[in-house]
Amino acid sequence: MALKPPPADRFDRRLLAPMMLGATLNPVNTAIIAVALTPIGIALGAPASDTVWLVSSLYLVTAIGQPLVGRLVDIFGVKRLFLAGGALVALAGAIGLFAPTSSSSIWWLVASRVILGIGTCAGYPAAMHMIRAEGRRTGMASPAGILTALAVTTQTVAVVGPTLGGLLIGTWGWRATFAVNIPLGIASVVLGWIFFPRKTGLEPAPADRPRIDAAGVALFAITMLALLVFLQNISFGLVWLLAVALVAGAAMVSWELRTAEPFIDVRVLGGNVPLLLTYLRSTLTAIIAYTFVYGFTQWLEDGRGLTATGAGLVLLPVFAAGIIASITFGRRPEVLWKLLVGSIAQLVAGVLVLFMTGDSPIWMLVVTMLVLGIPQGLNNLAIQNTLYYQAEPERIASSAGLLRTFMYLGAIISSVVYGNVYGARATTGGLHTLGWVVIGISIVFFLVTVFDRSLRRLGRPSPQDAETTARPDPAADPRTAPRGPAPRAQDR
């Protein structure tokens, strides 16, 4: 049976379910593994040097894959890429569930995480592409409510990941953290098949499709792979990887400047300083967020003596506070004050960490997490809204994917920080050092925001926006064209 055409002047809310589910697959799997590393290492007899690849593999794959898959979404549309991604997520979950139990089984799990990383690359770029397409179709200059819903599901779900992981491990064991992806992947395929259109109106016509910049993709992949591996294993013996990253990066820029259809348009990106600052803020936010999600979680178990389930529950207030902040202020499109308040809250959270000891009461830990939830809600919401305004519409998915790349760069930097600070164990002294790191990064974030003048007018409605909002473009989406028959089922 054919679906009814979407309303001409309102966002098609049937798209929300696949958008939100697809966008959560990557962050929830990034965070859910935080409390599973120790149980997996014990069960398989794997050292920490091996289990760390369960985190690193997902980081590396998604940091490289999100801009690439986002570019494919921009060119070919959301449906095919989204369905393929959901299928890979379910496959990855099955591999993790049925992996053999032996000393070498850790590499089955790493393979599962690699496939999982590839599968989750489509979710967030597809969601941003659909929001931009619906904004064009309906004439909404700022779909703030939809962007808020996406921010809530993608950013705060990263915080609930350890809580979910702790509950799954406590109930069914560590394999449940992999098996949960089977129903999630299947649900993504079903919802994407039913509700996502084959065409959104943003992708180019078949005759005008740009070629895939294979050389640009390869150079980008080499650059990011060498850089990220070096950051995760900083040592004098691996300086050659940094050299490879610099050479490949320079070659990529040179190539992208000369090619007619670049993978990453460095001309536009280099001239868009506000967008570059948005990527920088995303990196800084991720450093702080992942320092807490992983570094603070390790201290809760080692230094504070909590169980995996208890540590996950302590982090739960971050999720609650982030959702409340996003829902309360999300419909206001202005971004500057959100970023300023978020930077101050990050600073306060870092200061609170300095006063923690192995005997700190639970209420103090909970209060700190509530304070940290404020920037989790406001910063990520503002960064996402800023990207929506600053990115080119025809490259919105690849720009969103690149935003995730910078986020994972921050996550890897955070792993380098807390890994070197803690050493063999997560001590209270090491936690205090992390607190000073958070304070320093919060100050940099604040300064970068204060001196970015472009943020002052971002999100403020202009007469042109009001005129555009008053006149939806019914021809912007094939589903709502004023002429011709209603959309057929096979076109959905």
User: Nearest 5°: phi and psi at 305?
Assistant: 80, 25
Whether 271 and 235 map to the same domain: the answer is no
Residue with tokens 């050479």: 247
Whether 433 and 461 map to the same domain: the answer is yes
The answer to whether residue 483 sits within a structural domain is no
The answer to whether residue 5 sits within a structural domain is no
pLDDT given for residue 484 in this prediction: 37
How many domains would you assign to the chain?
A: 2
Whether 153 and 298 map to the same domain: the answer is yes
Distance CA 444, CA 451 (A): 11
The answer to whether residue 465 sits within a structural domain is yes
Locate 92 and state its tokens: 């990855």
Whether 235 and 359 map to the same domain: the answer is no
Locate 177 and state its tokens: 């953290």
pLDDT given for residue 352 in this prediction: 94
pLDDT given for residue 465 in this prediction: 45
The answer to whether residue 9 sits within a structural domain is no
Last residue of a domain, one of 224, 240, 262: 262
Q: What is the pTM of this model?
A: 0.75
Whether 323 and 235 map to the same domain: the answer is no
Alpha helices by DSSP H, listed for 259-358, are 266-271, 273-290, 297-302, 308-329, 336-353
Span 216-257, pLDDT tens digits: 889 988 998 898 888 877 788 889 999 999 999 999 999 988
> In 3D, which of 124, 101, 96 has the Cα closest to residue 111?
96
Pick from 193-197, 261-265, 325-329 the range whose average pLDDT is largest. Answer: 193-197
Tell me the DSSP string of 215-271: HHHHHHHHHHHHHHHHHHT--GGGHHHHHHHHHHHHHHHHHHHH-SS-SS-HHHHHH
Whether 269 and 251 map to the same domain: the answer is no
Last residue of a domain, one of 197, 231, 262: 262
Last residue of a domain, one of 222, 239, 262: 262
Whether 236 and 278 map to the same domain: the answer is no
Residue with tokens 């919105």: 396
The answer to whether residue 422 sits within a structural domain is yes
Whether 315 and 249 map to the same domain: the answer is no
Whether 403 and 457 map to the same domain: the answer is yes
Is the pLDDT score of 474 beyond 50?
Answer: no
Range of lowest pLDDT (35-44, 86-95, 154-163):
154-163
Distance CA 441, CA 74 (A): 34
Q: By the 8 A CB rule, do 61 and 91 touch?
A: no
Whether 252 and 345 map to the same domain: the answer is no
Rama region for 472: left / alpha / beta (φ>0; ψ in -120 to 50; rest): beta
Q: Which CATH number goes with the domain that contains 458?
A: 1.20.1250.20
Q: By the 8 A CB rule, do 278 and 386 touch?
A: yes
Whether 254 and 383 map to the same domain: the answer is no
Pick from 153-162, 284-293, 349-358 the range whose average pLDDT is largest. Answer: 349-358
Residue range(s) defining the domain that contains residue 251? 213-262
Span 40-96, pLDDT tens digits: 888 888 887 788 788 888 888 988 888 889 889 988 889 999 999 999 999 999 999
